[in-house]
Structures are given as C-alpha cells and as structure tokens.
Structure 1
Amino acid sequence: MANYWRMAWCRHLLAVSMALFCLLRNTMDVHARPANMSSLKDKNNPTSKEVNEILPPDHLNGMKLEMDGHINKDFHQEVFLGKEMEEFEEDSEPRRNRNKLIDIFSKVDFNKDKSVSAKEMQRWIVEKTEEHFQEAVRENKMSFHAVDPDGDGHVTWDEYRVKFLASKGFNKKEMADKIKNSEELKVDEETQEVLESLKDRWFQADNPPADQLLNEEEFLSFLHPEHSKGMLKYMVKEIVRDLDQDSDKKLTLSEFISLPMGTVENQQAQDIDDDWVRERKKEFEEVIDGNHDGIVTMEELQEYMDPMNEYNALNEAKQMIAVADENQNHNLELEEILKYSEYFTGSKLMDYARNVHEEF
C-alpha cells in the first residue's frame, strides 16, 4: 500500500508541476523557471499559516537545490548575506544598500588588505550558512511546540497526524478518535497522498532505536534534512528518484536537464526553456559531476548538497569571485563587488560603485 501511495504521490507532483510549468511558459518573463511545490502552500491565506508551520519547507536557505530538485536561484545571495538577506529589498534606498554592502565587504576582508581572497570568502560562506542553520533551529522550536502542546518533549506520528489534519480543516476530535480506534480516516485523495509522503519522511527522521517518536532534534531533521547526514541522504534519494528516468539510481545530463512535456507556444516560452536547460547543464557539468564522467551518483549529489562541506564552500567562493573579478587577480576588490551587487545581494546599486574611491 505504501508503494501505491508513493507512486500516486509522484504522479500527483508531476501533474501539478507540469500544469504549473505550462502556465509559466505562457505568462512569465524570461527570468522565470518551472515552479516548485512551494507554490502549493497558500502563504496569503491566514488559515494556512498553521499548515506551513508544521510542514517541511520546499525551500531550504543555503542549499543548492530545492526539495524538488530545482536549482536554488537565491543560493549565492543566501550564503553571502546570511540572515541579512531581507535587508536588501529591491525597493530599498540604493545608498543604504551600498553602505550596507561596504560594511559586509569590510567584514569579509578578514586581514583588512582591501581585497577578498577565496579563503576569506570561504570562511564567510561557512559563517553565513551557519546563520541559516541557527535560524532553522529557532523556527523549529516554535514548530515543535505547536505539535507538542503537552510539552513532554516528544511527538508521536499519530499526534502529528491529528495536528496536520486539523490544520487542513478536519475536525480535530473526530480525527483523534478515529486514529485512536484505528478507524478509516476518510480523507480526500490528495490529503492521503501527503500523509503517506510525510509518514515516510517521519520514520526516516526517527533515529534508532526506532520508537515512532520524534524529539525536538529529530523533528528538526524532519523539517530540515540539511541538519542530519541521514536525512540529507534521504533528500538526495528523493531527488534522484524523481529525476531518474531509467531507474539506475544515477543521473545523466539529459535526465538532469529534462523538461516537462508541453508545447512551446511563443519565443518568450522558448527563452524560459533555454535558460532552464542552460543553467542546469552548466551546474551539472561544472559543479555536480565531480569526476566529469557524465554521470552523477548519489554520493556526488550528496556531497554537492551538503551545506557544511568546507570544500564545497571553497569552490563556491572561487566561483563567486570569478563572476566579478574583472582585473583577474583571483580576489575581489570593493569596486568589483559593488559593480556586481545584483549577483551578491539581488539589489542593483546603479552608479554608486563609481564613487567608491571618494570614500576609500
């Protein structure tokens, strides 16, 4: 039965993704990408806040891939800005953003030689990634409290099920009684599919000896697999399973860049497709496929996904520097980082970079 629901859930995810992607092809600009499952969480509906609080997020800050295998578009900004990401909003006053970026540069420049090396950037990336980790820990405390109202320090799968179903609009007492008496829940197919997927994830997060209870640390792994080697491995297996077309538990380039079936109706939609393929091809060939044999194994993908891998942080530092290193000295100067501010912060600073020498 579990296998049946797993297959049904995969078909459901694929159908939703394909529908959303076809819609995006016809309506969004060239910077768009196929939508991930985060869109299924209704962030504007107040009644959905409780659902979002206890469901594992699709987007994980500081992770290169989303839970559904999409490339994290904001990764560079997340590992450069850390918890300060929200301060760089598109409509923020440019001079304020410029001053903030100058301040960040001075912190990254650990030896104060007015130049950022790959090692300094690596150190900074690790520090900012840790900030995202700590933020997840803080959020998890609130989420765990929401599912552990009696405060006994652990949550059963049945307790979580009741909380989840109640947050979806089902009668809490009725669901609790049915679960207690092992009665059929009679929920809609979509809710049942989500429950089966969550159950699989729940038992993966249950550290041995398995007792079907999650403490706060295990619940953190349930919501944020990047906090656990075992759950990170599980996340990688899920991504490979969804992309692996020949079931060999490996990914080829064609599998990694494959697009949902659909008709391209205009040039704008074709541009979206081309950007999607180009971006994923570059990431596959230059970063993920470590030995460049044209195949990505689960081990390679797990190493690529590990946010606390310092070797990955160094490679990321070198890539980030290469983007803005106009004088080709393998370091970053302040004027370079200001000129390429959109890459590092998501915010354009217009012509403020040219004034940098007036202050330094």
Structure 2
Amino acid sequence: MLLRLLPSFFLVAIALAVPAKEKRVHHHSDLSDHAHDDTHGYQYDHEAFLGKEEAKTFDQLTTEESKDRLAKIVDRIDTDKDGFVSHGELHHWIKHRQRRYIEENVNKHWKDYDNNGDGKIGWEEYKNTTYGFYLDEEFDDVEDKATYKSMLTRDERRFRVADRDRDGIATREEFTAFLHPEEFDHMRDVVVQETMEDIDKSGDGKVSIDEYIGDMYTSENGENEPDWVQTERKHFAEIRDTNKDGYLDAGEVIQWILPTEVDHADNEAKHLIHETDTNKDGQLSLSELLDKMDVIKTSTITDYGSMRVDEHDEL
C-alpha cells in the first residue's frame, strides 16, 4: 500500500530521514497506515476506531483498562444517548477523528517552523529549519546527496502549490495543505505528480503492473507471492486500469490514490458495523463492541490523534 506523503521532518537528524516512498500520500492514510485486509488482522480497523496514537495506548493497557477506555469512547460516539451507536454516529466520529488528527499534526509542526512567532511560516523558515547547514554544504556531507536534493525540490514545489496567494509565506490553512495535500482539491495534481515520480521507475509517464506491484511488495528468495498481492494484480487489471491498456496514466492514478467518489470514513463505519453487529440490528451496543475487542483494538475509531476522551474533545 502507498504510504502517506509527509514533508521531511528530520531537522537535526537529516541523515536519518526516510526515503521518498515513506513521504508519499496514501489514499487510506487518513484512517490508517495499514492495509485494510482482515485476513491479516484488524490493525486498520483498530486505527480507524481509536486513532493512531490511542491505538498504541490500547495495546499497552490491561483488559479491564481497555474495556473502561472503550466504554468512555462509546459514550462519546453515542450522541443521542440511546445506548447504541448508529452508522451515522460512527461515521461522524471517524470524520471527527480525521479532522482532529490533522489539526493536532499541524499544531505540532507549526511550533517547529514559525521561528519568528509571527503566525506564518515562510518558505525560507521551513527550508532553513528542515535542511539547516546542509544547504551551505550543498548536501555534500549527506550520504545520499541526490535524494536530499530531490526532497528539497519536492518540498519547495509542494510549498509553492499550497501557497495560494504566491507570497512565499504559508498561513495555517496553507501549511495544512502543505502537510496534508490529500485533503485539498487544489493539491491533487501535485499529489499525483509526486506519486508518479516515485512509482514510474521507467520514466515513461505511466505505471506498469510491475511498477505498481513493486511499489508495494518485493519477493525474497523466490518466495511465492502472498494472496493479497495476487488480489492487487487483479485490482490493477479489473479496477485501476480503466482504459485496459495495461498501464495507469495520471488520471487513473488519481482515481486510485484520491478517489473522489469514495468516503473511506463511511466505508469503515459500515465495515465495523458488519464485523461487530452480532444481532444484525444495524447498530452497536457496548456489549457487542466489548465482545469484538480484537476488531476494535485494530480500528480507526480508536486511533486518531491522541484520542483523549475528555470534556474538551467536542464532536
């Protein structure tokens, strides 16, 4: 699966920065970084229900502590207080966690880059804070010089697209578009461009089946491909490649990574109800959710931001 495209936050430890593939937008990353494949566990659902940071917390709690935390979360989701979680309430909650995660992520990085405290982040501020004295050395002290120069070029290009008034300074909304381009329509082209640059190894402007699979999976020692890879091959041929020419062009790539007609939060709400609604009445009780802790402990309902359940976490 594609991974979320994040700008290079390596600050001091630039030499330890992740490769370009780790900096790319994932079309499901607003819910989870894991593949949505229940045959390999429920980590995607865990992060959808709980939120990414809270999911980590859940993994460290005792069974009783997890149940107590889950009961508090369910009480927040159940806005009409009828004792059940409906599809609408669940969908609203997951969307809320998405917004909360993005807001907290932007707040976290804003402090790193607004060096003069003027409530804006200039390109020079971002560039100097991120790449520092390596700029003066033209990355000569970095082992993979070409990669870092490419990262700088990519960061600047995305910053310029996010900077809608072209003044070289990012407001909070513009900086949000820079960090989370998948959330903004005017950033779609740059998301596709970055994805194509990463996957299209031949540089012919299209993605072959080998490039598509190679971005997700590399076989080792002649091992057989797992079932999920075979499924992805099928998806490439039957779903992704809409004009059936054997390749994905830019238009097909954008429908793959940022499909306009797909509401992942809605799909996840439906999926969670399907997996946990034991009596099939279309809604979830606390007891049903507790009975399915293996699903919930691997869901996006509990995994966004830090998922603190308190009076300040307004829906």
TM range (shorter): 0.5 to 0.7
After superposition, the Cα gap between the structure-2 partners of 1:116 and 1:86, relative to the gap in structure 1 and judged at 3 Å, is closer
Equivalent position of 2:185 in the other structure: 229
**In the alignment, what sits opposite 1:164?**
130
Compute the TM-score of the two structures, normalised by the length of structure 2: 0.65
Question: Which residue of structure 2 aligns with residue 202 of structure 1?
Answer: 156
Structure 1 residues 264-275: aligned runs within 5 Å: 264=221, 270=224, 273-274=225-226
Matched letter for residue 234 of structure 1: V
Q: Is contact 2:122–2:170 with CA below 8 Å preserved after alignment?
A: yes
Match of 1:317? Answer: 269
Q: Is the 8 A contact 1:325 1:331 kept in 2?
A: yes
Over 3 Å counting, the alpha-carbon distance change for 1:264 and 1:310 in structure 2 is closer
Can you list the C-alpha shifts for 1:131-174, whole angstroms capped at 9, x where unaligned?
Answer: 112212211321222xx3474834234x54433333xxx478xx
Paired-residue identity, %: 23
Greater share of helix residues, 1 or 2? 1
Name which one, 1 or 2, has greater alpha-carbon Rg: 1
Distance 1:254 1:112 in 2: 51
Which residue is 1:133 aligned to? 102
1:85 match: secondary structure: helix
The answer to whether residue 79 in structure 2 is matched with residue 110 in structure 1 is yes
CA distance in 2, matches of 1:261, 1:87: 28
Amino acid at match of 2:107: R
1:339, 1:143 → 2: CA distance?
43
Cα 1:327/1:249, change in 2 over 3 Å: farther
* Count of residues in Structure 1 that have an aligned counterpart in Structure 2: 282
Which residues of structure 1 form unaligned runs of 5+? 1-32, 179-183, 348-360
* TM-score in terms of structure 1 length: 0.58
User: 1 CA distance for matches of 2:119 and 2:107?
Assistant: 19
Partner of 1:48: 13
Query: Structure 1 residues 215, 113: CA separation in 2 closer, same or farther (over 3 Å shift)?
Result: closer
2:252 counterpart of 1:297: yes
Please tell me whether residue 85 in structure 1 is matched to residue 50 in structure 2. no
Does the 8 Å contact 1:51/1:164 carry over to 2?
Answer: no
Superposed CA offset, 1:65-113 (max 9, x none): 49xx974885433332237615733231210111111222232233334
Letter of the 1:204 counterpart: R
**In 2, Cα distance between equivalents of 1:218 and 1:36:** 18
Hey, what's the Cα distance between the residues in 2 that align with 1:95 and 1:211? Answer: 54
Contact 1:204–1:234 (8 Å) recurs in 2? yes
Deviating runs (4+, > 6 A) in structure 1?
33-38, 49-52, 245-254, 281-286, 290-296
CA 1:241–1:111: 2 relative to 1, 3 Å: same
Deviations 1:2-41 (A, max 9, x none): xxxxxxxxxxxxxxxxxxxxxxxxxxxxxxx999999x98
Query: Contact 2:276 / 2:289 at 8 angstroms: preserved in 1?
Result: yes
The residue type equivalent to 2:28 in the other structure is K
Query: Mapping of 1:30-69 within 5 angstroms?
Result: 48=13, 58=23, 64-65=28-29
2-structure distance, mates of 1:70, 1:247:
28
Report which stretch shifted further, 190-199 or 294-303.
294-303
Q: For residues 337 and 101 of structure 1, what CA distance do their matches in structure 2 show?
A: 8
Match of residue 29 from structure 1: none
Work out whether residues 77 and 93 of structure 2, in 8 Å CA contact, stay in contact via their aligned partners in 1.
yes
Instruction: Return closer, same or farther for 1:102/1:275 CA change in 2, 3 Å cut-off.
Output: farther
Q: 1:292 to 1:249 in 2, by over 3 A?
A: same
Q: Which residue of 2 aligns with 1:351?
A: none
Cα distance in 2, alignment partners of residues 302 and 116 from structure 1: 30
Distance 1:300 1:132 in 2: 24
Query: How far apart, CA to CA, are the structure 2 residues paired with 1:252 and 1:117?
Result: 42
Distance in 1, Cα, partners of 2:54 & 2:237: 29
1:88–1:97 contact (8 Å) kept in structure 2:
no
* 1:45-74 superposed Cα distances (whole Å, 9 cap, x missing partner): x9539987xx998488x96149xx974885
- Per the TM alignment, residue 192 of structure 1 is displaced from its structure 2 partner at its CA by 4.1
Give per-residue Cα distances to partners, 1:295-342, cap 9 Å, x unaligned.
7824423544x7xx8843222211222222333333333333222223
Q: Which residue identity does 1:64 align to in structure 2?
A: H
Change over 3 Å in CA distance of 1:290–1:342 after alignment to 2: farther
